[in-house]
Amino acid sequence: MFDPLRITSIKEAIDNLSNALAFSEKDGNPVLVNRKMDELYTMLTGHGFENALEVWDTINSNAWVKTHERMAVVRFSDGTIWRFVLTDLQSEHGDYIQIDGTDFTEIYTYTYKIRLNNIKLQEQYKRQRNILTNIVDLNREKEIVSLKMNIHDELGRCLIATDQYLSSGEKEDFTDLKKQWNSAISYLEGMSKEEISSSKQEILDIAALIGCTIEGSGDEPETERSSKLMTAAAREALTNAVRHAHADMISIVSQKKDGYYDVTITDNGTVSFDINCEIMEGEGLKNLRNRLEQEGGSLDILTDETGMTLKIRIPV
């Protein structure tokens, strides 16, 4: 026999809980349902709690989020959000079902805010990436602007000095003023020239400067990445040809095929290799090999009595 006083006390106690709570027998017959559970269920269906299994079905069919079959999140018409969990209980008096509801409104509000913050952070992150990528270019632009301002000032000074010279009426020495104008004009001439140099052109110019000719033929790399790799390969080949083989001509033949540029670099150097001897890779060649392999390309070094040939594969 249950003590009726004790049952009332228990009911009162669970009614005062902020959670929604219901215990029932295995067939769904309610044993103990607290006020909050009754209120929520009434809000959902228009009538009170009758059978726990039906209640669970109703909760499930109204679920807003459902992560697994014994848990459901329901949004109510008053704007609150509740999470319900179904648990089987076993005791010496028999088996029971427990439905427990927790107010998740605040948690969901915070989750929503976090989601919004995450979007904001993503935007900031994008901005950061952008700055990281462009910082050097941005600074270059700043340097150019600062130089343009200098030229502007320089021209201003020339004009003031000329004005003074002309208005003074005296035939003073014109040499300094002329020098000042020449310098300002040479800056101006430089400013109007187009920026035409490229990595490839620089290598060709340096080769000519140090007395070596580069003859290139075949397909030219089209992307920035492949172009950079080709330049790095040409730089290394030129270094080796001049430093070790005393060559004055290197030939670069490139063929675009199956997603790669197959590049063969030879020189007219005087160093010959024993076919059986293994070439020692210096730091430069090692770096080039690493760089090519990182980008999905490759480097093969072939040696024979005519010298060294670099066989390079660069992804398109």
With CB under 8 A as the contact rule, the residue among 3, 27, 92, 195 that binds another protein is 195
Which helix (H) or strand (E) segment holds residue 312: the answer is strand 307-315
User: Shortest gap between Cβ of 232 and another protein (angstroms)?
Assistant: 8
Size of the chain, expressed as the number of residues it contains:
316
Nearer to another protein (CB atom), residue 12 or residue 143: 143
Asked if 231 interacts with another protein (CB under 8 A), we say yes
Distances (CA, A) of 148 to 98, 142, 145, 151, 156: 79, 10, 5, 5, 12
Question: Residues 290-293: contacts with CB within 8 Å, 24+ apart?
Answer: 291/229, 291/232, 292/229, 292/233
Q: What is the dihedral of CA 225, 227, 229, 231, to 10 degrees?
A: -150
Nearer to another protein (CB atom), residue 107 or residue 191: 191
* Total Cβ atoms within 10 A of residue 174: 11
* Total Cβ atoms within 10 A of residue 98: 16
Asked if 202 interacts with another protein (CB under 8 A), we say yes
Beta-bridge partners for 311: 264, 300
Asked if 199 interacts with another protein (CB under 8 A), we say yes
**Applying CB under 8 A, which part among 18-26, 238-246, 254-262, 289-297 lies near another protein?**
238-246
With CB under 8 A as the contact rule, the residue among 81, 86, 203, 292 that binds another protein is 203
With CB under 8 A as the contact rule, the residue among 124, 213, 217, 270 that binds another protein is 124
With CB under 8 A as the contact rule, the residue among 191, 215, 255, 281 that binds another protein is 191
Q: How many CA atoms lie within 13 A of 51 on its CB side?
A: 7
With CB under 8 A as the contact rule, the residue among 111, 186, 213, 290 that binds another protein is 186
- The residues of the shown chain that bind another protein, judged by CB under 8 A, are 121, 124-125, 127-128, 131-132, 135-136, 139-140, 142-144, 146-148, 183, 186-187, 190-191, 193, 195, 197, 199, 202-203, 205-206, 209-212, 228, 231-232, 235, 238-239, 242-243
